[in-house]
Structure 1
Amino acid sequence: MVKNFNLSKHQSLSKQCIAKGLPDFSSVFNYIKQLPYGRNTNRSDFALVIKENKGTCSTKHAFLKAIATENNTEDITLCLGIFKMNRENTPKISTVLDAYQLEYIPEAHCYLKVNNKIIDITFNDNKPPAFVKSLLQEEFILPEHIGDYKLKRHQSFLKSWIIEKNVPLNYDELWKVRELCIAQLSE
Structure 2
Amino acid sequence: MTDLTANAPFTKLAKEKGVTTWEALKDYVANLPYGRTSNPKDLSLVLQEGRGTCSGKHAILACIAKENSIPDVHLMVSAFKMSAESTPKVQDVLEHFHLDYIPEAHCYLKENGKFEDYTRPGKFIEDFENTILDTKELTDPENVAVEKTAYHKQFIEKWLDEMFLPYSPEEMWRIREACIMSLSE
With normalisation by structure 2, the TM-score equals 0.93
| Alignment partner, residue 111 of structure 1 | 108
* 2:148 equivalent among 147, 150, 153: 150
**How many angstroms does 1:38 deviate by?**
0.5
Cα RMSD, aligned residues only: 1.5
1:165 aligns with 2:136: no
| Alignment partner, residue 30 of structure 1 | 27
**Further displaced range: 62-71 or 168-177:** 168-177
* 1:98 equivalent among 95, 98, 116: 95
Cα deviations by residue, 1:4-25 (Å, 9 ceiling, x for unpaired): 3111151221111112211111
With normalisation by structure 1, the TM-score equals 0.92
| Alignment partner, residue 61 of structure 1 | 58
Which amino acid counterpart does residue 184 of structure 2 have in structure 1?
A: S
Change (3 A) 1:75 1:9: closer
SS of the aligned residue for 1:147 comes to: helix
**How many angstroms does 1:36 deviate by?**
0.7
1:126 and 1:140 map into 2 onto residues whose CA distance is 20
SS of the aligned residue for 2:128 comes to: helix
Fraction of identical pairs, as percent: 39
2:181 and 2:20 map into 1 onto residues whose CA distance is 34
**How many angstroms does 1:81 deviate by?**
1.0
Change (3 A) 1:146 1:127: closer
| Alignment partner, residue 186 of structure 1 | 184
| Alignment partner, residue 73 of structure 1 | 70
1:10 aligns with 2:20: no
Aligned residues: 184
1:35 and 1:166 map into 2 onto residues whose CA distance is 39
| Alignment partner, residue 82 of structure 2 | 85
**Further displaced range: 158-167 or 4-13:** 4-13
**How many angstroms does 1:102 deviate by?**
0.4
Which amino acid counterpart does residue 55 of structure 1 have in structure 2?
A: G
**How many angstroms does 1:44 deviate by?**
2.1
SS of the aligned residue for 1:175 comes to: helix
* 1:40 equivalent among 37, 40, 43: 37
SS of the aligned residue for 1:94 comes to: helix
4+ aligned runs moved over 6 Å, structure 1: none
**How many angstroms does 1:62 deviate by?**
0.5
1:10 and 1:115 map into 2 onto residues whose CA distance is 24
Question: Given that residues 3 and 22 in structure 2 are in contact (C-alpha distance below 8 angstroms), is that contact kept between their aligned partners in structure 1?
Answer: yes
**How many angstroms does 1:127 deviate by?**
5.2
2:181 and 2:61 map into 1 onto residues whose CA distance is 24
1:56 and 1:129 map into 2 onto residues whose CA distance is 18
